[in-house]
Structure 1
Amino acid sequence: MLFSRRSSCLTLAACLVAPRVAFAQAPSPAAIADYEAKLKKYEQARAAYDAVADTYWDQVTEKRRTRNAKRRERVAVTIDDYVLTQPPQYSGPPRPADPFGRPPPSEQPPIPVIADFLKAAADQFGFVPDRPQNDADFKRAYARAGLAAGLTREQIIGVYAFETGGNGTYDMQAGVTPTRPNAISPAVGYNQLLSTNTVSLLAEFGERYLAALRMKALPMRGEAKRVFERKIEAFKRMIAYSRSVPQRWSEQDKLAKTTRGGWGVHAAVLDIDIGPMLQVQKLINSVHFAKMKGYTAPLTPAELEAMNLTGDGNGFDIVSMPHAYRDRVPTANFFQQRGYERNPVARRTGVVANLLADMEAKMARGAQSPGARELASAF
């Protein structure tokens, strides 16, 4: 009876309080009118900015096509083949706060995090990555794989120092910290491999990775061998899924970002037997791309990171640029608009010379951090 009376009292209190809360939160007609007027001004200013920005980024795209065509035809690229002005910046009024408390329209759905990748891998493929007991074990596997593929110690440590600040772990995800659970990108690991990279690498080099895993399984016996073989079978399913779309970046990007299977494939970067191979492959692909394009000099750590950061095509565009142009050419020439706007390094440095100098300085600082020292000791 006491419980019933208390419940009744609580219910009555809730009924009395709820209307007052709702009434306090309801915006007045004047507040709504003020919001609508400010929203109209914002939308007009934003539309004007978007028109200017679209023209600028269309010009960037067209100049990039021209440079690529010239390189194919072995014609020298000139300074006129770059956009030499900085991107326009929005300077109008901010979007006003909605008086009803509704959030602004989101441009994209929330980005999945490590827990989402792991659950999708288990649900979709029956894959559970073998995660190391400590980060030093992963670093040793990464160092061995990098040297075997032909990367240098300086390249490996330089990229790691830049991408992680010198203290990143094998399961570090872009934007995620102990106090901030939301990711800014699906990029994971020492050189921040995107989920689309993982799908693309499995589709192209899946047989090579399977061969390496089978070699590792040969000396195993008993339950350890059975568990490892189950991992290989699950990994085969992930490779097949990665090959379920044409091997075009746009198709692989859609698979990686919008399907549960694509999320699950990305969990492979967390496996101590597979992850180092994937991360190293991404970097060695950049080295091979530069050589294929006729760039015979060894890539400096900063040049390799430029390719890792912007993609091989745009990165090679930076690396192959005449040094005399680097002080004049804006970094915006090597990004898509959204990628540029999300990249604080590109925006802050302004021109290519500053971008490369900033990378080198950050690498030098990061190389003195405990994580980078631990990676150096792995060699």
Structure 2
Amino acid sequence: MATNGVTGALRALAFSAALVAIWLAASVAPVSAASTIDFLAALSDSEMDEFRAWKDARNVFNDRTDAYWDAVEAKRQGRRKKRAAKIPFEPTDYVMSLAPKYTGPTLSAELAKKYYSFVERQKTAEPAQQRELATVADYLEAAKRVYNFTPERVSEREFKQRYAEEAHALGLSKEQVVRVYALETGGNGTYDMQSGIHPIKKTGRAISSALGYAQLLDANSINELARSGETFISLLNRKLRDPENTPERTAALKRKLAVLKRMYANVKRLPFEWSVQQRYAKTDNGMGIHTLNIDADIGPMLQAMKLRTLKDTAAKQGRRSLTGAELELMNLAGPMTGLEMMEEPGASAPTTNFFARRAYYVNKMVNGLTGAELQVELDRRMTQSITRPGAQEFAEAFDRLYARRSTAER
């Protein structure tokens, strides 16, 4: 028995040395060679065979998946060149097959428990290098520190009313705005909602920088301010001239105007390039700008302007009207990419062609669909969420606006 035990241990150690490279290449967490050997040496012969078969199959699958996404990226680069040259796309410009799915051997429940327990211990022992995503509190702190700015808070009902007014003034419809809100927030989102964090319970953890009813990313805030800052300043000046303002309201607007002008001056110094705006959004100056989404005066116009920018982009491409689902498709995938999915051959192409690899797997909603099928799914989810209280309250804000305007026109 002792001899068999020693032999088994030696076999495990010898075998584990060959598996170390495989493990390190495919592991979901950073692990050292020594700790990997320790784990593998603790497996029985049958578990070792099972683990090797699984790891080998996973490696083959990972290689196939890497090759698939390399092909997707090559096709994407080709379409960019064609778009720049104004050459229409063809089906051959897309990878028309779906992403590979793993169909190989799986780990038994007991071995899987050992494996994932070990991986979790490694995560604890060797903390991930990536830092936590910034949260609303971090953005607010940056705004206070850099700009001495604290967004003005109002009730959800009031914020929705102001949003409806800004959206209507920009030519956006109730159907477009409310359905985008329903999809982006699940029909119950608050104006300070961050993606990944429950808007009411405040539980969960941030999964992106997206804020508010239209879920603008931090770089979107930089982009829209750089594009439309003069318009925002003009609109704030108009509010400042309102004869019904109290002295306190006038003073508050003057402070906001000074902050807005400073922020606008900062972003105008940057090249108007998305990659530059993405980097700037992660600085203290950029993080402070992202809090404009929460302010009762600037937030509604900033978020509504993002949707208007999408509408204008579609109009320039010959699409004069957009449903809520079409507007959201552009919001989700990017303006030109969203338009690409609305027409053939993009409509028939798998959504892998339109999203970065990580984004595709993180956003489960887009998995396994074509461009046309994703639009149908967006519309289905909007219809489902539009009946929830937040969406109903938003729709009522538009109804009140329309009623007031109808009365004024009589």
What TM-score bracket applies, with the shorter chain setting the length? 0.7 to 0.9
Residues 149 and 284 in structure 1, CA contact (< 8 A), matched pair in contact too: yes
Segment of structure 1 superposing worse, 86-95 or 179-188: 86-95
Question: What amino acid does structure 2 have at the position aligned with 1:284?
Answer: R
* Closer/same/farther in 2, CA of residues 261 and 352 from structure 1, 3 Å limit: same
Distance in 2 between the 1:40 and 1:359 partners? 42
Question: Which residue in the other structure is 1:183 paired with?
Answer: 206
Question: Which residue in the other structure is 2:146 paired with?
Answer: 124
Equivalent of residue 370 in structure 1, options 389, 399, 404: 389
Equivalent of residue 132 in structure 2, options 110, 118, 123: 110
Question: Which residue in the other structure is 2:52 paired with?
Answer: none
Aligned-pair distance for 1:43?
2.4
Q: Classify the secondary structure of the residue corresponding to 1:189.
A: coil
**Offset from partner CA, 1:35-84 (integer Å, 9 cap, x none):** 99876433234676665444322322332333344445554422222111
TM-score, normalised by the number of residues in structure 2: 0.76
Segment of structure 1 superposing worse, 331-340 or 70-79: 70-79
Question: Which residue in the other structure is 2:31 paired with?
Answer: none
Distance in 2 between the 1:65 and 1:174 partners? 29
Question: What amino acid does structure 2 have at the position aligned with 1:157?
Answer: V
Q: Classify the secondary structure of the residue corresponding to 2:124.
A: coil
Distance in 1 between the 2:167 and 2:18 partners? 58
State how 1:346-357 maps to structure 2 within 5 Å.
346-347=366-367, 349-357=368-376
C-alpha RMSD over aligned residues? 2.8
Do structure 1's residue 330 and structure 2's residue 353 form an aligned pair?
Answer: no
**Offset from partner CA, 1:305-326 (integer Å, 9 cap, x none):** 000001112111112335xx63
Distance in 1 between the 2:365 and 2:120 partners? 32
Do structure 1's residue 290 and structure 2's residue 314 form an aligned pair?
Answer: yes
Distance in 1 between the 2:139 and 2:195 partners? 14
Distance in 2 between the 1:196 and 1:99 partners? 35
State how 1:1-379 maps to structure 2 within 5 Å.
40-45=21-26, 51-89=63-101, 96-97=118-119, 99=121, 102=124, 106=128, 108-132=130-154, 134-177=155-198, 178=201, 180-219=203-242, 220=245, 222-257=247-282, 259-296=283-320, 298-322=321-345, 326=347, 328-347=348-367, 349-379=368-398
Question: What amino acid does structure 2 have at the position aligned with 1:136?
Answer: R
Segment of structure 1 superposing worse, 56-65 or 212-221: 56-65
Question: Which residue in the other structure is 1:13 paired with?
Answer: none
* Closer/same/farther in 2, CA of residues 101 and 186 from structure 1, 3 Å limit: closer
Question: What amino acid does structure 2 have at the position aligned with 1:225?
Answer: T
**Offset from partner CA, 1:9-57 (integer Å, 9 cap, x none):** xxxxxxxxxxxxxxxxxxxxxxx99999876433234676665444322
Residues 191 and 213 in structure 2, CA contact (< 8 A), matched pair in contact too: yes
Question: What amino acid does structure 2 have at the position aligned with 1:249?
Answer: W
Distance in 2 between the 1:190 and 1:208 partners? 21
Question: What amino acid does structure 1 have at the position aligned with 2:158?
Answer: D
Distance in 2 between the 1:167 and 1:98 partners? 34
Question: What amino acid does structure 1 have at the position aligned with 2:303?
Answer: Q
**Offset from partner CA, 1:66-106 (integer Å, 9 cap, x none):** 33444455544222221112223567887742656635563
Question: What amino acid does structure 2 have at the position aligned with 1:343?
Answer: N
Distance in 1 between the 2:14 and 2:259 partners? 58
Distance in 2 between the 1:216 and 1:112 partners? 32
* Closer/same/farther in 2, CA of residues 207 and 101 from structure 1, 3 Å limit: closer
* Closer/same/farther in 2, CA of residues 228 and 36 from structure 1, 3 Å limit: farther
Amino-acid identity (%): 37
Segment of structure 1 superposing worse, 136-145 or 54-63: 54-63
5+ residue gaps, structure 2, are: 1-12, 28-58, 108-114, 399-410
Question: What amino acid does structure 1 have at the position aligned with 2:135?
Answer: V
Residues 342 and 372 in structure 2, CA contact (< 8 A), matched pair in contact too: no
* Closer/same/farther in 2, CA of residues 107 and 223 from structure 1, 3 Å limit: same
Residues 128 and 231 in structure 1, CA contact (< 8 A), matched pair in contact too: no
Residues 140 and 375 in structure 1, CA contact (< 8 A), matched pair in contact too: yes
Residues 329 and 351 in structure 1, CA contact (< 8 A), matched pair in contact too: yes
5+ residue gaps, structure 1, are: 1-31
Aligned-pair distance for 1:123?
0.6
**Offset from partner CA, 1:129-169 (integer Å, 9 cap, x none):** 1111x101111111111111111111111111111111111
Question: Which residue in the other structure is 2:50 paired with?
Answer: none
Distance in 2 between the 1:321 and 1:345 partners? 21
Aligned-pair distance for 1:232?
1.1
Q: Classify the secondary structure of the residue corresponding to 1:150.
A: coil
Q: Classify the secondary structure of the residue corresponding to 2:192.
A: coil
Residues 35 and 98 in structure 1, CA contact (< 8 A), matched pair in contact too: no
Q: Classify the secondary structure of the residue corresponding to 1:97.
A: helix
